[in-house]
Structure 1
């Protein structure tokens, strides 16, 4: 039996591995099918991580993490986890190769992924004028006009955030009504920099070798087509957390989750199960920033060390 299984190899999982092994936990295995790094490796530019003054690509940014985190004895199993279950007072890590690894504790760091809208040009220009993170990419469009797609809390909150640096924000939604909280809608409607375009859908995202230069919109009531000349569209049509490993045979979840399927944790990253922790974008109310995920991973590892010390 291993002391700790870490499921997921992004910033949260790697930080957890670093702090756990350096903190003296002996048998720690990181389960990650591919190279560690997480979804941040798809980012073209990172310039807001404290202490890293160079602007780096996601891949270059995560590369030294792996070397550092494996220096203290963290081992990786390059295999996908299909399920986590419980037996007696420990956990079973089921992997795609048919093996089952018992573990005294688990840190879940499987992350999540923003939903794609399925628009023509969206995949082609992703990272080159199609973004799912205003905090990450808004600064690159300072004093420019930008577009935001979506009608929920995230879309409106990110649109409001973008008004701090962009000259104008076009908020596009397929319905006249919004799913966001009434107070958020009110703030958005009262912001002179936000122009609502409803009810409308994005037909196509256009661009060239330099990235996005326009989005084609269609009014769903009149059928009118219009073209917005913008260098970026921020897409906020939902977020999927990678919680499949928590699903049990009877359809229940291994630990307590919120209505979105994100894992409920306390400030110490503890779930409602002893010895089971969650960190990064898989947890409820995650800010979805690398620095926060790394902090979560460290917190979870410290909590886990305390748990293992008290359950010898």
Structure 2
């Protein structure tokens, strides 16, 4: 049941990964009194990552969940009102913008920063989730380094899968690439690069039946889609590269999106097609998808929102 008694806020941030928390740090320091709702996965995708070694400022590396706790603490120390809750509906028809949280709490905001991220698509195997962070990963650029000199497997057939397979081939002794059909969806140039890499072996008509290992990935069992024959390949890691799904369903009809559902922003800014609504992080970035690029766009969104609120006379 909807509660129509609205709470009025200057700056509402939806989502709590590196983009949302960075936006919150900047917004709070600019006295925008930001309210941040953490969403279904507080801390975002980094909370299902183990070691993070490619974020500047952590010379020894840091665990993903710990890093997100640090981000949250910094945002809170600056004065962000951080709350647990999920935005379930929006109305951007007129100002102030309406956002419903957990279906019944109504927030009216002068400016909205959308940083709801994107979720990796998974195969849906129980073993894949059980070993997530213990050799199973959806980001070769994030985690490939930990398997230097080892044999690994990657599943996927598009440009991203080809790109990640090539990235892994520079670090790992062997890359087993699993393709469900007898051809790849990747562009010809990417396919050619894969075929030329001496340590990438493409397994056609192959689906993952199971990821094997008790405490960490030790092998994969694959099934031939034509003959139904099963076989095992010993590997130390299993990378899933079948795409990401931006968390943008509630913004359909309000914010411009590309054909995959990523929010469109005006190049060089975080501005969406709705004045006063900004987008940051993986929800609008399907190319880089790194913690540091998400944090960078979170900074941009807060600065853009601050200028907007100042011009409109809200702060």
Please say whether Structure 1 and Structure 2 have the same fold, judged by a TM-score greater than 0.5: yes
Report the alpha carbon displacement of residue 83 of structure 1 after superposing the two structures with TM.
1.3
Pick the aligned partner of 1:179 from 185, 189, 203: 185
Q: Is the 8 A contact 1:258 1:284 kept in 2?
A: no
Question: Does the alignment pair 1:204 with 2:210?
Answer: yes
Q: Distance in 1 between matches of 2:40 and 2:84?
A: 6
Q: Give how far 1:129 is off.
A: 1.3
Of the candidates 141, 144, 150, which is equivalent to residue 138 of structure 1?
144
What's 1:279 paired with? 280
Q: How many residues align?
A: 305
In structure 2, do the counterparts of structure 1 residues 88 and 224 end up closer, same or farther at CA, with 3 Å as the change threshold?
closer
Deviations 1:156-192 (CA, angstroms, capped at 9, x unpaired): 1100111111111111111011111221112111221
Q: Does 1:45 align with 2:57?
A: no
CA contact (8 A) 1:82 1:244 kept: no
Instruction: Tell me which residue corresponds to 2:3.
Output: none
The superposition leaves residues 58-103 of structure 1 with CA deviations (integer Å, 9 ceiling, x where unpaired) of: 2222222222111222112322211121242331111125122111
**1:289: Cα distance to partner?**
1.2
Residue 7 in 1 paired to residue 14 in 2?
A: yes
1:217 aligns with 2:227: no
Report the CA distance between 1:237 and its aligned residue: 1.7
Kindly indicate whether residue 21 of structure 2 is the aligned counterpart of residue 20 of structure 1.
Answer: no
| Residue of structure 2 in register with 1:292 after alignment | 293
RMSD: 1.6
Q: Distance in 1 between matches of 2:67 and 2:34?
A: 24
For the residue of structure 2 that corresponds to 1:263, the secondary structure is coil
1:14-163 equivalences under 5 Å are: 14-25=21-32, 27-33=33-39, 36-96=42-102, 98-163=104-169
How far residue 36 of structure 1 moved from its aligned partner, in angstroms, is 4.0
- Structure 2 residue aligned with 1:255: 255
2:298 is paired with a residue of what secondary structure? helix
Give the CA deviation at 1:150: 0.8
List runs of 5+ in structure 1 lacking aligned partners.
248-252
Q: CA deviation at 1:208?
A: 2.4
The alpha-carbon distance between structure 1 residues 198 and 104, as it changes in their structure 2 partners (threshold 3 A), is same
Secondary structure in 1 matching 2:46: helix
Q: CA deviation at 1:11?
A: 1.0
- TM-score by length of structure 1 reads 0.93
Partner deviation per Cα, 1:253-312 (whole Å, 9 max, x = no partner): 211001110101122111111111111110043422111111110011111111111111
**2:236 paired residue number:** 231
Secondary structure of 1:121's partner?
A: helix
Give the equivalent residue in structure 2 for 1:250.
Answer: none
SS in 2 for 1:100: strand
- In structure 2, the gaps of 5 or more residues are 1-7
Counterpart of 1:185 in 2: which secondary structure? helix
**Structure 1 CA distance for aligned equivalents of residues 244 and 286 of structure 2:** 12
CA contact (8 A) 2:39 2:116 kept: no
1:262 alignment partner, SS class = coil
Query: How far apart, in 2, do the equivalents of 1:278 and 1:299 lie?
Result: 9
TM-score using structure 2 length? 0.92
